[in-house]
Amino acid sequence: MKNPFFKTVIIISLLFLISNCTSNDDIELSSPSVANETTNANAEVTYTTVKISGKVISDGGSEISSKGVCWSKNPNPTINDNKITESDDVFSSVISDLMVNTTYYFRIFATNNTGTAYSEEQSFSTLTLDNTSWKFTTVYQNNFEIYSQVDLLDDHTTKFDEMDLPGQCPGCFITYGNWSVNGNELTYIWEGSDPANSTYIYTGIISGMNIQGNYTHSTSSNGSWSAIQL
């Protein structure tokens, strides 16, 4: 004779297992939730970099396979544009190799099994050289250095004057020239706007908040130079 109590226990156990499996299978997955925490008030922007901070708020019930920042010169950037990935759920990414005086659009992203979610978009412009003043360090033969202030005006003209430092001569060699930017390369013509008629021609690469490169001299050997913003 079968034991009815034993039969009841088996039925209850089976119902519990079925219910548990059904409960696990019915978990509803969703897209991740992310946020862009960089604002106009806290943005760290240079001539060629922007620091973007973001976080993953929720994984949507599924493991996140990729997260970070995507950006573009066009609105609504996606992971098919430029992107940098991060390992932590709260992060700050320094986006480098940007163009001077250019607007970029940024979004935080995270990807799980349901797809990729994006934060609200933010846009920032890298700095412009218009109406800036720089301390130029020009290195001559035997590592002799001259320190000068070079003003880059918004009409692309310049003013050069040696700085008021020991061994310098402020007011002795004031020149007015011209400047231009191609990508992130600065060309500075020391006198006038025609390179063929200028004693010095400076060319240098802008990176972050610095510029450095080489110069040519019409009658002597060439050399190197660097600049920091005043």
Lowest mean pLDDT among 23-27, 134-138, 149-153, 160-164: 23-27
d(CA 41, CA 88): 24
Task: Decide if pLDDT at 76 tops 90.
Answer: yes
Q: Which two tokens stand for residue 123?
A: 């846009």
Q: Which pLDDT belongs to residue 162?
A: 96
Q: Average pLDDT of 16-22?
A: 45
Binning pLDDT at 50, 70 and 90, where does residue 14 land?
Answer: very low
Considering the entire predicted model, what is its pTM?
A: 0.83
Task: Decide if pLDDT at 11 tops 80.
Answer: no
Task: Decide if pLDDT at 8 tops 80.
Answer: no
Share of the chain above pLDDT 90, in %: 80
Q: What is the mean pLDDT of the chain?
A: 90
pLDDT tens by residue, 158-208:
999 999 999 899 999 999 999 999 999 999 999 999 999 999 999 999 999
Q: Which two tokens stand for residue 213?
A: 């490169």
Q: Average pLDDT of 215-224?
A: 90
Task: Decide if pLDDT at 51 tops 60.
Answer: yes
Q: Average pLDDT of 144-151?
A: 95
Higher pLDDT pick, 18 / 72: 72
Task: Decide if pLDDT at 7 tops 60.
Answer: no
Q: Which residues pair with 103 in a beta bridge?
A: 125
Task: Decide if pLDDT at 16 tops 70.
Answer: no
Higher pLDDT pick, 51 / 1: 51
Residue pointed to by tokens 């059904």: 22
Q: Is 57 exposed, middle or buried (0-12, 13-18, 19+ CB in 10 A)?
A: middle
Question: How long a stretch of residues is the chain?
Answer: 230
Q: Which pLDDT belongs to residue 103?
A: 97
Structural domains in the chain plus CATH codes: 33-125 (2.60.40.10), 132-229 (2.40.128.120)
For the chain, helix, strand, coil in percent to 5 are 10, 45, 40
pLDDT tens by residue, 92-105:
999 999 999 999 99
Nearest to 223 by CA among 142, 134, 133: 142
